[in-house]
């Protein structure tokens, strides 16, 4: 029997990150700067509302100058562009976040590209993505950045390891692949990225020393897809109906957790794994933007 798997509590990592941020925030405050984060939410997508409320609560708790702009579903693209322009020009705002998805009548890419790259704390602007690909300093998308912090905290070796990432999204799969192949302490991995058009996905995932599941499908990674002793990072946050819960649903990851538990050497739980890291890294990016404003 393999040893008991290590559970990678992102929640604990996020607390350590926030404790470190407090020190940097105090230094900024001594120089008369309060990190300013503006979050824009258009419409009433339930999951987005939950995320934005959590971002609001956590940034306020760290003493940010935080502001959530809640706009009606019918807000026009021109109005949203105007608002972003206003935030770009507001010296009290160091970070701008436009919550995705946006309503269909708004071109998300156009909105992302209208954000000043110096305030792009989501790391979605082509300037941020380009800097990441080139290995230059910049804002890195929060979920991939958070995964790297979990890897750092638990001292998981990546150099020379085979990392298989399931999912090619602009928010997770693509930036994470770039981070992990970087010539850096938490990189130097051999990276395979598989997606919906990959035949025999299990063939690839079974080769992985580290599997990152970002498919957006509940329990997509089954035990037969995982090599004995692999490290499994589960990015999924899927709502599945559960009448035994008061709110009517529960959260499950992209990994069949119970089934793979007996095979893996380490795994992130859902909830309490990757999830809490996303907001922690957003806060971290905002502190970095505030620090950069002094340069």
Burial of residue 284 (CB within 10 Å: 0-12, 13-18, 19+) is: buried
Closest approach, Cβ 255 to ligand GUN, in A, equals: 19
> In terms of CB distance, is 208 or 282 closer to ligand GUN?
282
Catalytic, 122? Answer: yes
Residue 251 sits at φ, ψ, to 5 deg, of -100, 130
Catalytic, 55? Answer: yes
Which DSSP string corresponds to 223-239?
GGGS-TT-EEEE---EE
Buried b (16+ CB within 10 A) or exposed e, 147-186: bbbbbebbebebeebbbbbbbbbebbbbbbbbbbbbeeeb
Q: 142-153 and 10-30 are packed helices; what angle lies between their axes, rounded to 10 degrees? A: 110
- Nearest-CB residue to ligand GUN? 100
> In terms of CB distance, is 201 or 277 closer to ligand GUN?
277
Alpha-carbon gap, residue 96 to 115, rounded angstroms? 7
Nearest to 122 by CA among 295, 264, 237, 289: 289
> In terms of CB distance, is 179 or 201 closer to ligand GUN?
179
Alpha carbon 121 to its chain centroid, in Å, reads: 11
> In terms of CB distance, is 60 or 100 closer to ligand GUN?
100
Closest approach, Cβ 218 to ligand GUN, in A, equals: 17
Closest approach, Cβ 294 to ligand GUN, in A, equals: 25
Binding site for ligand GUN (CB under 6 A): 97-100, 122, 142, 171, 278
Instruction: Single out the catalytic residue among 18, 55, 174, 227.
Output: 55
Closest approach, Cβ 96 to ligand GUN, in A, equals: 10
> In terms of CB distance, is 59 or 278 closer to ligand GUN?
278
Task: Using DSSP, state whether 49 is helix, strand or coil.
Answer: helix
Instruction: Single out the catalytic residue among 18, 58, 99, 209.
Output: 99
Closest approach, Cβ 293 to ligand GUN, in A, equals: 21
Alpha-carbon gap, residue 275 to 162, rounded angstroms? 23
Residue 228 sits at φ, ψ, to 5 deg, of -55, 125
Catalytic, 22? Answer: no
- Start-to-end CA span in the chain (Å): 55
Q: Which two tokens stand for residue 28?
A: 């900024």
Closest approach, Cβ 14 to ligand GUN, in A, equals: 14
Instruction: Single out the catalytic residue among 119, 120, 122, 254.
Output: 122
Active site residues: 55, 99, 122
């Amino acid at each position: 029997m393999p040893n008991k798997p290590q559970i990678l509590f992102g929640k604990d990592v996020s607390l350590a990150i926030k404790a470190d941020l407090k020190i940097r925030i105090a230094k900024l405050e001594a120089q008369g700067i309060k990190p300013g984060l503006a979050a824009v939410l258009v419409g009433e997508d339930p999951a987005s509302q939950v995320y934005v409320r959590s971002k609001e609560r956590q940034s306020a708790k760290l003493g940010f100058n935080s502001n959530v702009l809640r706009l009606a579903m019918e807000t026009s693209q021109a109005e949203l562009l105007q608002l972003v322009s206003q935030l770009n020009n507001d010296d009290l705002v160091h970070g701008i976040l436009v919550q995705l998805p946006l309503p269909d009548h708004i071109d998300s890419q156009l909105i992302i590209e209208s954000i000043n790259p110096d305030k792009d704390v989501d790391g979605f602007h082509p300037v941020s993505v380009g800097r990441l690909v080139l290995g230059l300093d910049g804002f890195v998308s929060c979920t991939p950045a958070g995964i790297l912090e979990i890897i750092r905290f638990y001292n998981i070796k990546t150099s020379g390891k085979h990392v298989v990432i399931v999912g090619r999204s602009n928010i997770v799969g693509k930036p994470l692949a770039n981070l992990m192949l970087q010539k850096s302490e938490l990189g130097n991995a051999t990276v395979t990225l598989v997606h919906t058009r990959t035949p025999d996905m299990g063939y690839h995932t079974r080769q992985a020393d580290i599997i990152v599941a970002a498919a957006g499908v509940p329990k997509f990674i089954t035990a037969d897809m995982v090599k004995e002793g692999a490290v499994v990072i589960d990015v999924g946050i899927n709502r599945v109906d559960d009448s035994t819960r008061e709110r009517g649903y529960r959260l499950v990851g992209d990994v069949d957790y119970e089934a793979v538990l007996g095979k893996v050497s380490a795994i992130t739980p859902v909830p309490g794994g990757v999830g809490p890291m996303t907001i922690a890294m957003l806060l971290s990016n905002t502190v970095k933007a505030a620090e950069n404003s002094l340069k």
